[in-house]
Structure 1
Amino acid sequence: IIVWLHQAVLNFNAPGAIETECRDRYFWVSMDVGFAGHVPRFEAVVENGVHIISEAHASMCGYTLNNLNGQASLRASYFSCYTENKNDSNFIFKLNVVLTDHTGRENKHSLTENCTLPVDWSSKEILCEENYIEVGLCKAGNVNPVRYADVVLSDKHNTSWPAALAFAQRSAISEWQIMFLNQDFQSLDAMSISDARRMGYMLDSTPNRVVFRSAYNQTHSIDGIAVEVIHATVFFRRKWAVVMLDTSAACTIAPSSFDGVILHWRTPKVMTPLMQDFSRFVSRSIELGAHAQLLDEATRKTMGYVLGEDGQVVHVSMPFGAPGGYRMSLVENNVYKESYKAFLCYEHIYSHVFTDDTEIQTRHRHRVIFFSPLTETLPHEEVFTVYLGSFASDVELIAIKLNENYLSVTDAIQQHYFITKIPHTNGTHGFIIKVPFEDKSVNKVYLGEGLLQYSVEINYTLNIIKQNDTFFHHVSVVAHVNDAFPPDVSAFCTAQSIIFRINHPKQAGLWEVCVGHQALTSDLSRQEGYILKNDSQSMTLEVPLFTSGYIHEDITLRNFVGSFEILIRDSKTLEIHKRITKHCYFQSEELTVCSTDGMMTVVATTTKTWPAVPPSSTTLLDRSCRPKATDETRVLFSFGVDTCGTRLMFGEGYIVYENEVISDGGVIIDQESAITRESKFRYLSIYETDKYVKIELG
C-alpha cells in the first residue's frame, strides 16, 4: 500500500492528479494532495528563470493560492505578472508544480497552457479577489478615457476629480505616475510607478489596457463598515496634454453570516467612487456563479441559491450543504464535527450612459466566500447559535443542560429557547439551539481593554429511538465582544453642588456606579440627600455641597476645594475599573470640617454680635490655640480633635467632639480713640461620628 501511494503521488499524468482549465478571466490549476499531505509549490517560468509564487507576492502579482480538503489550487489572472500576453486576447501560462515526497525529494511537473479570452473585455473591469483588487481599463482608441474624465469633471456630485486634475497638470511628467486620494478625502499623494511597486501596488500597460492591482488594507485604501475603497488615478503627459485614467475601485469586505440554516452575504448595488451621478447609472445584469460559471435563474433555484435586491442592496444566500460547496469534517476529542465552505462569483455589469446613448461599461466581480463554522455567534445580535450534527434519522434530542440548568426540549422551548431540527438532503439531520448572551445561564467575564467574554456550557442528551439508548454530547462555546468599555462619565461644578452624567453602557448590567463601597441606587440617593435622575441615554447624579462623601481641601477664609468621587465597578466581581473624581471651588462664610486624619478646620464669622468682635481676639477653649488666619470679619482655626481643649462625649454607637470659638471681650481702643469694651462671642463646633466623620455647625 505504501508503494502504491508513493507511485500515485509521483504519477503526474494519472487522471485527476493535476487539472487545468482556462476560465473567462483567469487560469486555474488544481492538484489532489490528499495522498501526499504536502502542499505543492508553484513556480512561474520565464525566459530568464523561474519565480516562486509565494503568499507574500501573490496579491501583488495577481495569483491566489488555496488548499482546501486536500486540494491545492492556483488561480492566475490573465494579467498576472509572468504571463505572456498576446494582444489582450491570448494568454500563455508556463508553470512548474513542485511536490516534495515523504523522503524530502522534490518532483517537478512542467505545464504550458494557452488561454483564449472567451468574453470580450468591458471598458472597465474590477475584480475583487480573495487577496487582491484588480482594475483594468481600455486605453484611448477603444474607449476614450478623456471623455470619461469630462463626464466626471461635469458631475456636480464629484469633488475630488477637479483637484486631481489640477494636481496632475502641475506635476505630470512624461513618466507614468499614480495619484491617491488620502484617507481624509482632501489631500493628494502622487508617486512614480517604481515607488508604487515598492509599496505593494502593481501598474502595467498591456497592448490595449491599463491594469492596476492592490492588496487589501494598503496604505492608501479606506476601510468602511463593509466596503474597502481605493481612490487611484493614473496620469502622464503626452506632448501638450495630460492623460488621466481613473483606476478607483471598491470591494465589499464584509464576510458572510450564518443563522444556523442559511448563509447570507450582502453588497451595495453600486459604490462610490465607481458611480457618483446615479442619474446616468444603468444596471445591465446581476448574476451569480459557481465553479467559475455564471448560473441562470433556473439552475440557481435548483441549487438553492437566492439572488435578490432590496433597494440599493443585493442579497445572496444559500443553504448549509448546498451543491457547489465543500463539507469539511474533523474529529476532536473523539467527537465528529463538520463545517461547510463555498466559493461563489458575483458579477454586476452596469453602464454610465451619455446623452447621445453611448456608454462606458463596467464589469464588477466579487469572489464571495461562504463559510459556516460549527458554532456561529452573532455579536451584533448577542446570541449564541450552536449547530450539532449530523445524525441518522433515528436519533432524537430529548434534553439540554445549560451550565447547571437542566431542561427537557419541551421545557426549553416553553422558556423561549430556540431549538430546531435541521434536515439534510442525504437523510441525516442536525439540531440548532440559540442562547441569548443575556440569558441567566451564560457566564460573563470582563477581560479588560473593552473585551467582554461570554461563555456557556451545553450538555446534550440524545437518544437512539430503536434501541432506546441514551448518549450525551458536551459543547463549550465562547464569544467575545470588543466594545464593552465602562460607561463614559462627565462632571461639572455648580455654585452648591457637583453633577455627574453617566452614559448608559452598551452592555447593560455589566457595570455598577458606586459611591464609596455602596452601589448607587434610588434608596442610597434618598438616604444621603443626592439627586438622581435617569433617562434612556444617561443617568445624572447631583451631589449637593456638604452631603456625605465630600472631601474638603485647601480651605482658606474665602473658599475651599470640594472633591467627590464615583467608581465604576464590575457588577459581578466588584473589581473597580474606573475612578472619576471632580474637584470644584466653593465659597462659604462658615464651615466646619473634620478630616480622616483627625484634624478639625473651622471658618467662623464674628459679625453676629453688636458691636462686632475683632477676629484677632478669638481663641478656642484652650486660650493658647489662636486662629491660623483672620481678616476683617472671619477666623480660621485648624486643630486636632485631641487638642485645644476639645471635649469628648460617647453616645450609643457614636462619638461627639466639641470645641468653641470664643471671645470674652476686653478693653480696646477704637478708631475715635474712645475706650470701649468688646462684645462676648461664642461659636460652638461639634464633630459627631458613628460610621464616618460628620461635622455639624452649632
Structure 2
Amino acid sequence: MDVIFCFGLLFLCFQLCQMNRSYITTDPKGAIETDCRDRYFWVSVDVGFTGHVPRFEAVVENGVQIINEDHASMCGYTLNYLNGLASLRASYFSCHTENKNDSNFLFKLNVVLTDQTGRENKYSLTENCTLLVDWSSKEILCEENYIEVTVARDAPCRSDKHSTPWLPALAFAQRSAISEWQIMFLNQDLQSLDAMSISDARRMGYMLDSTPNRVVFRSAYNQTHSTITEIDGIAVEVIHATVFFRQKWAVVMLDASAACTIAPSSFDGLILHWRTPKVMTPLVQASSRFVSRSIELGVHAQLLDEATRKTMGYLLGEDGQVVHVSVPFGAPGGYRMSLVENNVYKESYKAFPCYEHIYSHVFLDDTEIEIRHRQLRVMETPLVPRIPFTIDETLPREEMFTVYLGSFASDVELIAIKLNENCLSVADAIQQHYFITKIPHINGTHGFIVKVPFEDKSVNKVYLGEGLLQYSVEINYTLNIIKRNDTFFHNVSVVADVNDAFPPDVSAFCTAQSIIFRINHPKQAGLWEVCVGHQALTSDLSRQEGYILQNDSQSMTLEVPLYTSGYIYENITLRNFVGSFEILIRDSKTLEIHKRTTKHCYFQSEELTVCSTDGLMTVVATTSKTWPTVPPNSTTLLDRSCRPKATDETRVIFSFGVDTCGTRLLFGDGYIVYENEVISDGGVIIDQDSAITRESKFRLTVRCFYALDSVKKVFTSRLFEGRGFGSVKITDAAGVNG
C-alpha cells in the first residue's frame, strides 16, 4: 500500500498586505485600527480615552463567540494589552474565519468598548484579506500562546522507507485507519502511540480542521502530549502528531509535528539575548538532507529587510547550530514601561521579535519538501533603575538657564516644576512664558528642556565683587507615569556666572542752582538700585523731594536742585559755600552698598539756613531787603549777646546751637521745629536825598525742621539721625517816621 507523507509549515510572514490600513468609520474617535498582514489579520484599539480593556467577539452564524484567553489559544487568536493599546492577531486559519481556496479570508469581528458612563458600545469589523506569499508545503507557527501547523493536502509527498519515527506510526495507521480522520500522538520514547478521533482531540484542547487545500492542527503550550527536550542546550517543546485516514486503498498520513523554543531570553544590562537551535532535530528525518534556505528576523510578526533590521539595532547571528538574536534595551518596535518604587524611577522593556527559518528536506530520490518555521517571542527585561540625569546647557550670554532632563519612556510626563519656592504646573509655567519643551528621541524615549531667564523673580542673584555676578536656581521636577498615577521627583541646582556685572557708571556736573547726575543703565538692570540716602530713587521719591528724574534707553538723569533734601553744606562763607550730594549704588536684594558717588559744587551765598545732624544751625542772610538798609553788624539773634560770625556790606552769617541764643522749641505735624530771629534796631537814619528821618527795624525768622522719627535726644545733646531743613522769612520790615 502506498503511503503518502505530506509535510507543511504554518508560519506568519511579516510582509504587509497590499490592502491599505483602514480606520473603522463607525468609530467616532478613530480608536480602532485594522490591517491585513501576511498570514494574519490585525486589530488595534486605543483605549486611552475610556481606560477600559475592550472585548473582542467573533461573529458566528447563530450570534457571537467571545474571544477569551482559552478560546484564543485553541482557535488561533492572540490577545495583547500594553501601554493603552489592546490588540488582536487572528491567524488566517483561525476559527470563525471564512476561507476561500486558502487565498482569501473574510473576518467578521466585533469590538466592544465601554465608555466613561459604563455603557457598552459595539463596533462591527468586516475585513477581507488576500494571501500575498504562497503557502509552503508545511508551515509551523510558534505563536505567543499556541502552536499551529498547516500541511498541504494535495502536494506530492514522499519519504524514505525506513525513516524513524514513522515506522511505528505507519504500522498503526495501516491497522486502524478508517474513513474518518484520526490523530495520533507519539510519546517521548517515539514507540508508544496514542490515537483518538477528532472530536476526542478537541475535547482535550486540540484543534484539527480541514481547509480546501490544507490540514490545520493547533495546540496550546504544555499540553498532555507535548514534551520538553534540550537541543544544543536550549529548551524546546515538541509535539509529535500525525493525522491519518483511509482514502480508497491508500492510507493518507499527514505529519503535523512541531517544535518551539521555550527557553527564555536573557539580559546583560544593555541587551536582550535569545537563542534557538538552527535545526529542530525532532522535525528532521535522519535519512534526509537538510538544506537551509533563509533565516530572517522581524518584529511584531512582520519580517524586516536586513538594512531596516540593522538600523533598528536587531542583530541576527549564527554560532554553529545555534542562532542568536540580540535586541538592545529600548530598540524600536518594543515597549518601555515605567513604575516608581520609593521615588526611584524604574523601567522594563519588552521586545517582540519574529524569527523565521525556511528550510527543505531533500530525500534520496532528490525530491524535497519546503518547511516554513516561524517563532514569535516575547523578550522582557527585569525592572532596571533609571535615575534621571540633567545636562546644564546654559550659555551665560543668552541670559537664561537651559536645563535638559532625561531620559524617560513614552509613558512619563512632566506635570509641574518648582523654581526655588515658586511652584507652577506645566500649563501655568508655559502661560507665564517659561520655556518647557518635550524633546523626542529616535529610540522612543524623550526628555524635557526647561528655560528660565536670569532676571526671573525665582532666580537668586549674588554679586561676588570684581564684576562677577552669580545666578542660581533650584529646579524641582514633578513627573508622573501616565495611567498609573505614580509621581516622582527630581531636583537639580544650576549656577551660572556672569563676568561683566559691574555697578553702573555715574558722572556728575554742577550748574548754578543744582547738581546733575547721569547714571548709565547696566546690563543687569535688576541687580542694582540707585539710592539717595537709604531710599531707592524712584519717580515717587523724586516728586516728593523735588528732584527732576528722566530716563532714556541709555541712561538715567537726576537733577538735584539746591536746597532740596540730601544736600550737605560745608565751608559756608558770606560769598559762597560748598554743596555736596551723594548717590549710592546698592545690591537690590542684599542692599549692600557697592558704589558711592559724591559731587561737590560751589554755590553763591545769598540766603541760606543749614540744619546739621549735630544740632548746629547756620544762617546766611542779607539785610539789603529793608529800606533804608540795616547795617549788618547791628544784627543779633534773640539773645542779643549772639552776634554775627562775620559780616560785610550787605550780609551776615550766624552759626549757633539749636539749644542756644534764645532758640525756641516748637512741635509741628510730624516735625520738631527750632526757631530763632535775626533782629536789628538800627535807630534813626537820615536819608540825604530826601532829608527825611527814617527809623529802620529788621526782623528775620529762621527755623530748622527735623522729622520726629529722626530725633534721638531732644533736650540733652541735640543729636539727630537725619539732617533737617531750614526756612527764612522776613516777618517785619522797616518803619517810616515823618
TM-score calculated relative to the size of structure 1: 0.52
Partner Cα separation in structure 1 for residue 220 and residue 176 of structure 2: 26
How big is the shift at 1:227? 0.5
Structure 1 position 338, deviation (Å)? 1.6
Q: CA deviation at 1:12?
A: 5.1
- 2:229 corresponds to which letter in structure 1? G
Residue identity opposite 1:239 in structure 2: K
Q: Any gaps of 5 or more consecutive residues in structure 1?
A: 1-9, 376-386, 397-422, 430-461, 469-698
What's the % identity of the aligned pairs?
78
User: What's the secondary structure of 1:260's corresponding residue?
Assistant: coil
Q: 2:180 aligns with which of 166, 170, 175?
A: 175
> What residue identity is the alignment partner of 2:126?
T
Q: CA deviation at 1:184?
A: 3.7
Structure 1 residues 64 and 336: alpha-carbon distance in aligned structure 2, compared to 1, 3 A threshold: same
Of residues 118, 123, 127 in structure 2, which corresponds to 1:109?
Answer: 123
Counterparts of 2:318 and 2:302, CA distance in 1 = 21
> After TM superposition, where is structure 1 displaced by more than 6 Å over at least 4 residues in a row?
none
1:426 Cα deviation from its structure 2 partner: 5.8
- Determine the structure 2 residue equivalent to 1:361: 370
Q: Give the whole-Å Cα distance in 2 for the aligned partners of 1:425 and 1:134.
A: 33
Shift of 1:279: 5.6
> Paired residue for 2:564?
none
- 2:321 aligns to what? 312
Residue 82 of structure 1 corresponds to which residue in structure 2?
96
Aligned residue in 2 for 1:646: none
Which residue, out of 202, 206, 210, partners 2:211? 206
The aligned residue for residue 391 of structure 1 is 389
Matches within 5 A, 1:581-600: none
- Which of 108, 124, 136 matches 2:150? 136
**Pair 278,168 (structure 1): closer, same or farther in 2 beyond 3 Å:** closer
How far apart, CA to CA, are the structure 1 residues paired with 2:120 and 2:443? 43
Report what 1:53 is aligned to: 67
SS in structure 2 opposite 1:57? Answer: helix
Contact 1:11/1:17 (<8 A) preserved: no
2:359 is matched with which residue: 350, 357, 361?
350
Please state whether the residue corresponding to 1:21 is helix, strand or coil.
Answer: strand
Contact 2:335 2:350 in 1 (8 A): yes
Matching residue of 1:251: 260
Q: Once the 2 structures are TM-superposed, how far is the Cα of residue 391 of structure 1 from its aligned partner?
A: 2.9
Once the 2 structures are TM-superposed, how far is the Cα of residue 272 of structure 1 from its aligned partner?
A: 2.4
Task: Assess if the C-alpha contact under 8 Å between 2:54 and 2:112 holds in 1.
Answer: yes
Q: Separation in 1 of the partners of 2:264 and 2:347?
A: 20
SS at match of 1:170: helix
Aligned residues of 1:390 and 1:428 also touching (Cα < 8 A): no
In structure 1, how many angstroms separate the alpha carbons of the residues matched to 2:202 and 2:444?
50
In structure 2, relative to structure 1, the CA distance for the partners of 1:113 and 1:426 (3 Å cut) is closer
Work out the CA distance in 1 between the residues paired with 2:491 and 2:121: 51
The 10-residue stretch of structure 1 (57-66 or 270-279) with the greater mean CA deviation from structure 2: 270-279
1:161 to 145, 162, 166: 166
Return the match for 2:331 from 322, 327, 331.
322
Q: Is the 8 A contact 1:180 1:233 kept in 2?
A: yes
* Mapped pair 1:221 → 2:226: yes
8 Å CA contact 2:287–2:363 kept in 1: the answer is no
Answer whether contact 2:55 2:111 (CA < 8 A) is retained.
Answer: yes
Shift of 1:388: 3.4
**Alignment CA distance shift 1:393-1:340 (3 Å):** farther
Change (3 A) 1:392 1:126: farther
Q: Is the Cα contact below 8 Å between 2:41 and 2:129 reproduced in 1?
A: yes
CA distance in 2, matches of 1:426, 1:176: 54
* Matching of residues 268-417 of structure 1 within 5 Å: 268-277=277-286, 280-355=289-364, 357-375=366-384, 387-393=385-391
Q: 2: CA distance between counterparts of 1:253 and 1:22?
A: 28
CA contact under 8 A between 1:391 and 1:428: conserved in structure 2? no
How far apart are the structure 2 equivalents of 1:26 and 1:270? 26
Give the 3 Å change call, closer, same or farther, for CA 248–292 of structure 1 in structure 2.
Answer: closer
Amino acid at match of 1:293: Q
Cα distance in 1 for residues equivalent to 2:52 and 2:383: 26
Pair 125,171 (structure 1): closer, same or farther in 2 beyond 3 Å: same
Cα offsets for 1:244-283 (capped at 9, x unmatched): 1110000001121111000111100021221133761100
Determine the C-alpha separation between the residues in 1 that align with 2:446 and 2:249: 72
Number of equivalences: 384
Q: Match of 2:539?
A: none
- Secondary structure of the residue aligned to 1:224 is strand
Aligned-partner Cα distance in 1 for 2:211–2:134: 15
In structure 2, the partner of 1:27 is 41
Task: In structure 2, give the amino acid aligned to 1:328.
Answer: M
Stretch of structure 1 that moved more, 347-356 or 223-232:
347-356
Deviation at 1:318, TM superposition (A): 1.2
**Superposition deviation, residue 285 in structure 1:** 0.3
Superposed CA offset, 1:205-234 (max 9, x none): 100000000000000000125100000001
Q: TM-score, normalised by structure 2?
A: 0.49
How far is 1:98 from its partner? 0.6
* 2:210 aligned partner, one-letter code: S
Q: Distance in 2 between matches of 1:113 and 1:93?
A: 5
Distance 1:16 1:166, change over 3 A: same
Cα separation, partners in 2 of 1:336 and 1:199, compared to 1, 3 Å: same
Distance 2:214 2:443 in 1: 48
2:288–2:361 contact (8 Å) kept in structure 1: no
RMSD between aligned residues = 2.8
**Residue type matched to 2:386 in 1?**
L
What are the equivalent positions in structure 2 for 1:474-623 lying under 5 Å apart?
none
Distance, in Å, in 1 between the alignment partners of 2:43 and 2:445 is 30
Q: Distance in 2 between matches of 1:231 and 1:94?
A: 33
> What is the match of residue 17 of structure 1?
31
- Counterpart CA distance in 2 for 1:278 and 1:337 is 53
**What is the deviation of 1:390?**
4.3
Contact 1:393-1:428 at 8 Å conserved across structures: no
Q: Residue 348 of structure 1: SS of its match in structure 2?
A: strand
Amino acid at match of 1:216: Y
**Conservation of the 8 A alpha-carbon contact between 2:339 and 2:347:** yes
Q: Is the 8 A contact 2:332 2:444 kept in 1?
A: no
Structure 1 residues 427 and 109: CA distance shift in structure 2, 3 A: closer
1:354, 1:273 → 2: CA distance? 17
Structure 2, gaps ≥5 residues long: 1-23, 393-403, 406-441, 449-489, 497-738
Aligned with residue 132 of structure 2, among 111, 118, 128:
118
Q: 1:239 to 1:366 in 2, by over 3 A?
A: same
Evaluate the alpha carbon distance shift between residue 66 and residue 278 of structure 1 in structure 2; reply closer, same or farther with a 3 A threshold.
Answer: farther
- Quick one: distance in 2 between partners of 1:189 and 1:357? 33
Q: Measure how far apart 1:183 and its partner are.
A: 3.1
What are the superposed Cα offsets for residues 606-649 of structure 1, whole Å, 9 maximum, x if unpaired?
xxxxxxxxxxxxxxxxxxxxxxxxxxxxxxxxxxxxxxxxxxxx
8 Å CA contact 2:78–2:88 kept in 1: the answer is yes
1:380-417 Cα offsets, whole Å, 9 max, x none, are: xxxxxxx4334334699xxxxxxxxxxxxxxxxxxxxx
Matches within 5 A, 1:617-656: none
1:350 corresponds to which letter in structure 2?
Y
What SS does the corresponding residue of 1:168 show, helix, strand or coil? Answer: helix
Change (3 A) 1:192 1:40: same
Query: Against the structure 1 CA distance between its residues 102 and 463, is the aligned structure 2 distance closer, same or farther, given a 3 Å change threshold?
Result: closer
Deviation readout 1:557-581 (Å, 9 max, x if unpaired): xxxxxxxxxxxxxxxxxxxxxxxxx
- Pair 1:69 & 2:83 matched: yes
> What SS class does the counterpart of residue 378 from structure 2 fall into?
strand
Instruction: For residue 357 of structure 1, report the CA deviation from its aligned partner.
Output: 4.1
